[in-house]
Amino acid sequence: MSEITLTDENFEKEISIAAKPVLVDFWAEWCSPCLTLGSILEKIAEEYKEKIILAKVNLDSAPLTAQKYKIDRIPFVIFFNGGKPLSGFIGVRPEPIIKEWLEEILLIKEYEEYAQKNGFKLNPDKEVVNRLVKGLLENEKKYGERYCPCRRIIGNPEEDKEKICPCKFMPEEIERDGHCFCQLFVK
């Protein structure tokens, strides 16, 4: 498992140079919920070791970092990508809920990178993006592929494959309309 220990002295450097997104667990030894969540996060980090790094910040060793990120309750988890905080949560959550949250963030990151490489961007409305990402992940669970939530799946894998996001129709729709049909990607 990729895990690093962060302190006030190394936090900014380690987060900014990380080769993968960093899931930061703010905790303390005296915090029972922190220990429970820590075990869950370690298990998830092992499963996602190709995609993320788990970092642990003991608040007793990082009071300045805690202050900077307004950590006023623990356990507190923040997902960083490229040195920037993207999302987080407070408290213990069940493993499946954390995995779902993580999958959504990683998919958004993947689509942001895809859009950037292809000269467009994700819809700036985060609510729209989050709703569509939930639909994509639900289709992946249901059908085994991330079919565009706005297109009808007929059950024929050969015909349906052109509806896998980013779908075959998306470049033409962006050029013509300024966005793809579901509005995940925009000019």
In tens, the pLDDT along 143-175 reads 999 999 999 999 898 999 999 999 999 999 999
pTM of the shown model: 0.84
Buried/exposed code over 19-30 (b: 16+ C-beta within 10 A; e: otherwise) = eebbbbbbbeee
More confident site: 3 or 87: 87
Residues 6+ apart with CB under 8 A from 74: 26, 27, 28, 31, 33, 34, 59, 90
Percent of the chain with pLDDT over 70: 99
Q: Which tens digits make up the pLDDT trace of 67-123? A: 999 999 999 999 999 999 999 999 999 999 999 999 999 999 999 999 999 999 999
Query: Which pLDDT value is given to residue 3?
Result: 81
Q: Which amino acid is at 85?
A: P
Where exactly does CATH 3.90.460.10 map onto the chain?
Answer: 107-186
What is the rounded distance in angstroms from the CA atom of residue 81 to the CA atom of residue 117? 17
Cα 115 vs. chain centroid, distance in angstroms? 16
Q: Which residues are catalytic, by number?
A: 31, 34
What is the rounded distance in angstroms from the CA atom of residue 40 to the CA atom of residue 92? 9
Query: Which pLDDT value is given to residue 107?
Result: 94
Superfamily of domain 107-186: Ferredoxin thioredoxin reductase catalytic beta subunit (3.90.460.10)
Helix, strand or coil for residue 165?
coil
Kindly report the CATH class assigned to 3-93: alpha beta
Query: Which pLDDT value is given to residue 131?
Result: 94
As a residue count, the chain comes to 187
* Band of pLDDT at residue 2, cut at 50, 70 and 90: low
Where exactly does CATH 3.40.30.10 map onto the chain?
Answer: 3-93
Q: Which amino acid is at 100?
A: E
- The pLDDT mean for the chain works out to 94
* Band of pLDDT at residue 9, cut at 50, 70 and 90: very high
